[in-house]
Structure 1
Amino acid sequence: MLKMKKIIYSLILMVLLAGCTTLEEDVFSELSPTNFYTSAADADAAVIAIYNGLNRRPFHDTYFTSLTFMQAPHSATRAAFRRMYANYSFDASENRILGSYWAAAYDIINRANAAIDRIPSIEMDENEKASLVAEAKWLRAYNYFNLVRFFGDVPLLLKESTSLEDANPSRAPMDEVYAAIVADLKEGLDNLPPSRGNGEKMGRVAAGTAKFLLAKVYLTMAGEPLNDASHLQEAHTLLSDLYANRGEYGFGLLENYADIFDLENELNAEIVFAVQQSRIEGQGTAMAHMWGPLRSPFGGTGQYHGGCTQEFYESYDDTDERRDVTWLERYQLRGANQVVVFGERLPNGALGPYGETRNGMSPAKYQDPEQECCDGETDIIIYRFSDVMLMLAEIENELNGPGAAALGYLNEVRERANATVYDPQAATSQEEFRELIYKERFWEFSFEFHEIFDIRRMGKVQEAIETGFETQLFGTVYDPRYELYPIPLTEIQTNSNITQNPGW
């Protein structure tokens, strides 16, 4: 299995790169990055180590949900360290999430850079070599894509950092960062296999994954803050190919929305990319434990960090199957024959573990009943095939207006969810159709780390703040600085070449 193989290779790699010495004066063996990269197995292990960097830190989960979901207007939380991200009361000195994510992302990028720099010198099959380098470049591009959307201008490191001279880079303009992302992803179009099939490399990125992410990058560049629509047609071409040839790329739209998140159905055809997890200590996610309700029936005891508002839950069509797959409106208390309903008091009149609606309704997409605390098996889904349709619908609207083609892609996603399909007059202008897409992306991808990115690129930061549940309670007033996160203070204090984002 890939999961076990990934863990084993990563542990081997860490041991090898750390060197192996005894406490005696004589050194019996010593391996460094210089002499580690000698075989095809070494090259593969180096690439797997990049995946392992994603596995634990960004998606354990403290970082990513705070940085992406909490800014949604429908988010609610009872955790103070998350609430500051929901109401924008944090600043550059916040290090638990902001600084830690920055450090984690650049550690992953440096792992990718090491593989990209060193694999070419290994004597091995040239096609396999090119594929592994392209795989490392996809992972580097993915991390830079997140960084540039979070922070704007960021240091652009495309070589392995090996000395203190590499430790103080300045920030590169956003357009340069995006150009590097595009270049990395284009290499994957030619050098990665179309799909991974059901072999031992199942779940690792392929040409279809590269096409998907490149199209998403182009679409993002067309929105705020770059507003560069010159690549929209290229994005449309890439997505149309994925849509028409989904079988070749190993993708598809599952008939049942709930099946996407079934623990026994991981890496299904709808998954374009997911960060794989394991119950092995130190190799799993705490998502179900942190976000599950108190006395949760899944994922440990449940810390109940929050979820969505009642208003957002009720915004779904009554027939929309996504509603109760995404949010846990009721559940049976762990160890008790008692069903708890969100917002209702217990039979004895007590408020109970789920009675305070201010805390939000727990997300339900990540469930692992066998995990005890912080190492769950549930893969963290990053990109899904339904996004191909919603991106196509959005691009069709931008290029040709809200015609039958745009509406057809949107309705395909809604029909699968058993939601009411829109009639031809649902949107008569581009702006009206943009609103349909904006709402649909919340319903389809809630709690899958898209919220802040969609809000920002669609120019909705001020609207989300003015209508948001947490921001209204706190009295947050929109400020242009909220369009980007601050550069972590820890980075500014240690790197004299780093400047701060305006207003922070």
Structure 2
Amino acid sequence: MKKIKYILILFSAIYFGCSEDFLDRSPISNPNEADFYQSKDDFETAILAAYNSLYNLYGPESLPSFFGELMSDNAYSDNAAGRIQDYEGFENHTMSDDNELVLGYWNSYYRTLYIINNIITRAENIDFDTQTALIGEAKFLRALYYFDMVRAWGDIPLVTKPLSIGEAYAQGRTPKADVYNQIVEDLKFAAANLPAKANERFVGAANSDAANALLGKVYLTMGDKTKASETLLKVYGKFSLVSYADLWDKTKKNGAESIFEIQYKGGKSNPYSRYWAMFSPLDNRVVTAWGAGMNQVTPDLWNAYEAGDPRRDISIQDGYTTAAGAPVDVKYPIKWKDEEAEVDGLREASDNNFIILRYADVLLMLTEATGDAKYLNEVRNRVGLPSYGAAGYPSQYNTVALAVEHERQVEFALEFHRWFDLIRTGRAITVIKNSSKNITLSENQLVLPIPLQVITQNSGVITQNEAYK
């Protein structure tokens, strides 16, 4: 009963939130939490709760979704629920420090980090046979979440252990270089102490290949292409590309291309995915039971596909017909289509997984790191398109850097990569200005505001990002 009670508390902390500030100064666990971590089973129960945070932190309304896609030239929002200005803040870069979505993301990440830090700290003091692997899994998740946060906010409070109330109030923002160093150390530990994907502890668990793939991306973001290529080559050749359509086939989850994948199970009594419901056209009542209209497809993304690229029609639907027979010209994602899903209210309880890391990402990062187009050409050959440097390759992508940028846009369309990619390569300001959104940005606007509530609660300790002062 103690274990059941504790895991329910952890789930509540992750899913239902709290009104406290970013460090959860009021404990989110029960008063007997110190008594809970006594055995291997206790820690494995807690780490499952940490994995369940992926449902929230990588869901359709998450920071990676809206920062990664809605802020880019790939997507716009038709959503008509909640504070519309908060969604428009992402879509149109009209961000303010009272954006409720931003506050929710900040609190959700730190609530989850509280749980993860607790697991790591307590597991380091108790011996059991899966201790090192469990700590490695927790550190992988911590690195993943801090990587999202440091790219979105810049300097952030770096918390690696449970804090007292006094310590929490004194915790200011940590320079992003130090945050990146912690991410690197966590991923090195995970890579050294976790099994390969083929031997992961359970389906969907963090593994050494995922740690190295993510570490390679971290090094690229830090500007160290040498270390990025060295790290990514540890993964190269261990996976294989599958048919592009198979990536989105619900019967072929966790395939040969998948490196780290969030596990969902369809049905309203299960942990189902909501991408299909939330990314379908607003209030369509035909394609899906309702449709939230989030991350709809811009002309920029649609037109980025080359003639004959099968990925376009596998990824995007170009309209639908209403029940009355009227055509609706709207383009929307179909990678997570689940037409057989049970309906839970107005949402499909879908059976799609979500892939965070896959082998095509490793290949395209290797070209970015090395300048060698052979890795990029493996991705293009998978869908039967001309290789970079060959006859028929689009002439406008006349450098390896532009070729990678183009390939990543169409290969990972709407998979939460685009804005992160453009910021990493220094191309965000130029691309968004030249897109159909035609938005002029400064470097200071490439990060989100620190939520006003956090500034207020930590007056004189937490400072605001320059663009929002």
Q: Is TM more than 0.5 here?
A: yes
Query: What is the correspondence of 1:421-500 to structure 2 with a 5 Å cutoff?
Result: 421-423=387-389, 432-470=399-437, 472=438, 476-496=439-459, 497-500=461-464
Q: Please point out which of 230, 233, 247 is paired with 1:237.
A: 230
Distance in 2 (CA, whole Å) between partners of 1:453 and 1:419 is 25
| Contact 2:301 2:410 (C-alpha < 8 Å) held by counterparts | no
| Contact 1:151 1:486 (C-alpha < 8 Å) held by counterparts | yes
| Contact 2:169 2:458 (C-alpha < 8 Å) held by counterparts | yes
Structure 1 residue 456, shift from structure 2 partner: 0.6
2:70 is aligned to 70
Cα pair distance change 1:337/1:384, threshold 3 Å: farther
Distance in 2 (CA, whole Å) between partners of 1:429 and 1:175 is 35
Distance in 1 (CA, whole Å) between partners of 2:395 and 2:298 is 30
Query: What is the correspondence of 1:90-489 to structure 2 with a 5 Å cutoff?
Result: 90-95=95-100, 97-125=101-129, 128-197=130-199, 201-222=202-223, 229=224, 232-244=225-237, 246=238, 251-254=239-242, 256-278=243-265, 279-280=267-268, 283-293=271-281, 294-295=283-284, 300-331=289-320, 346=326, 352=327, 354-355=328-329, 360-369=330-339, 370-372=341-343, 373=347, 375-397=349-371, 406-423=372-389, 432-470=399-437, 472=438, 476-489=439-452
1:5 is aligned to none
Which deviates further from its counterpart, 134-143 or 491-500? Answer: 491-500
Cα pair distance change 1:77/1:123, threshold 3 Å: closer
**What is the total number of aligned residue pairs between the two structures?**
436
State the secondary structure of the residue aligned to 1:212.
helix
State the secondary structure of the residue aligned to 2:332.
coil
1:61 is aligned to 61
Cα pair distance change 1:337/1:478, threshold 3 Å: closer
Q: Which amino acid aligns with 2:59?
A: F
Structure 1 residue 455, shift from structure 2 partner: 1.1
Structure 1 residue 200, shift from structure 2 partner: 6.7
Distance in 2 (CA, whole Å) between partners of 1:10 and 1:328 is 43
Cα pair distance change 1:53/1:164, threshold 3 Å: farther
CA RMSD of aligned residues (A): 2.7
Cα deviation digits, residues 461-488 of structure 1 (max 9, x gap) = 2212312323x3xxx4322321211111
Structure 1 residue 313, shift from structure 2 partner: 1.5
Cα pair distance change 1:319/1:429, threshold 3 Å: closer
| Contact 2:277 2:291 (C-alpha < 8 Å) held by counterparts | yes
Distance in 1 (CA, whole Å) between partners of 2:104 and 2:446 is 20
Is the aligned partner of 1:13 residue 2:17? no
| Contact 1:16 1:36 (C-alpha < 8 Å) held by counterparts | no
Cα pair distance change 1:141/1:112, threshold 3 Å: same
Distance in 2 (CA, whole Å) between partners of 1:11 and 1:367 is 35
| Contact 1:288 1:300 (C-alpha < 8 Å) held by counterparts | no
Distance in 2 (CA, whole Å) between partners of 1:17 and 1:211 is 29
Distance in 2 (CA, whole Å) between partners of 1:77 and 1:429 is 29
Which deviates further from its counterpart, 164-173 or 411-420? Answer: 164-173
State the secondary structure of the residue aligned to 2:261.
strand
Q: Which amino acid aligns with 1:392?
A: L
State the secondary structure of the residue aligned to 1:242.
coil
Distance in 2 (CA, whole Å) between partners of 1:395 and 1:109 is 30
| Contact 1:69 1:75 (C-alpha < 8 Å) held by counterparts | yes
Query: What's the % identity of the aligned pairs?
Result: 29
Cα pair distance change 1:489/1:176, threshold 3 Å: same
Distance in 2 (CA, whole Å) between partners of 1:314 and 1:273 is 30
Q: Which runs of 5+ in 2 are unaligned?
A: 13-29
Cα pair distance change 1:16/1:154, threshold 3 Å: closer
Structure 1 residue 437, shift from structure 2 partner: 0.8
Cα deviation digits, residues 221-279 of structure 1 (max 9, x gap) = 11xxxxxx3xx2222122222113x0xxxx3211x101001112122221211222234
Distance in 1 (CA, whole Å) between partners of 2:146 and 2:220 is 16
Cα deviation digits, residues 126-156 of structure 1 (max 9, x gap) = xx10110011000000000000000110000
TM-score normalized with structure 1 length: 0.80
Cα deviation digits, residues 189-243 of structure 1 (max 9, x gap) = 221011254x771111111111111111001111xxxxxx3xx222212222211
State the secondary structure of the residue aligned to 1:362.
strand
Q: Which amino acid aligns with 1:368?
A: D
| Contact 2:69 2:295 (C-alpha < 8 Å) held by counterparts | no
Distance in 1 (CA, whole Å) between partners of 2:457 and 2:210 is 36
Structure 1 residue 453, shift from structure 2 partner: 0.7
Structure 1 residue 284, shift from structure 2 partner: 3.2
| Contact 1:243 1:389 (C-alpha < 8 Å) held by counterparts | yes
Q: Which amino acid aligns with 2:312?
A: R
State the secondary structure of the residue aligned to 2:450.
coil
Larger Rg: 1
Structure 1 residue 319, shift from structure 2 partner: 1.6
Distance in 1 (CA, whole Å) between partners of 2:376 and 2:10 is 50
Cα pair distance change 1:16/1:38, threshold 3 Å: farther
2:17 is aligned to none
Structure 1 residue 332, shift from structure 2 partner: 6.4
Q: Which runs of 5+ in 1 are unaligned?
A: 1-8, 19-29, 223-228, 339-345, 347-351, 398-405
Structure 1 residue 44, shift from structure 2 partner: 1.0
Q: Which amino acid aligns with 2:174?
A: A
| Contact 2:319 2:332 (C-alpha < 8 Å) held by counterparts | no
Structure 1 residue 11, shift from structure 2 partner: 7.0
Distance in 2 (CA, whole Å) between partners of 1:17 and 1:216 is 30
Q: Which amino acid aligns with 1:195?
A: K
Cα pair distance change 1:257/1:107, threshold 3 Å: same
Q: Which amino acid aligns with 1:467?
A: N
Structure 1 runs of 4+ aligned residues shifted over 4 Å read 9-12, 15-18, 296-299, 330-333, 424-431
Q: Which amino acid aligns with 1:156?
A: L
State the secondary structure of the residue aligned to 1:382.
strand
Q: Which amino acid aligns with 1:122?
A: I
| Contact 2:377 2:388 (C-alpha < 8 Å) held by counterparts | yes
Cα pair distance change 1:35/1:431, threshold 3 Å: farther
Cα pair distance change 1:463/1:409, threshold 3 Å: same
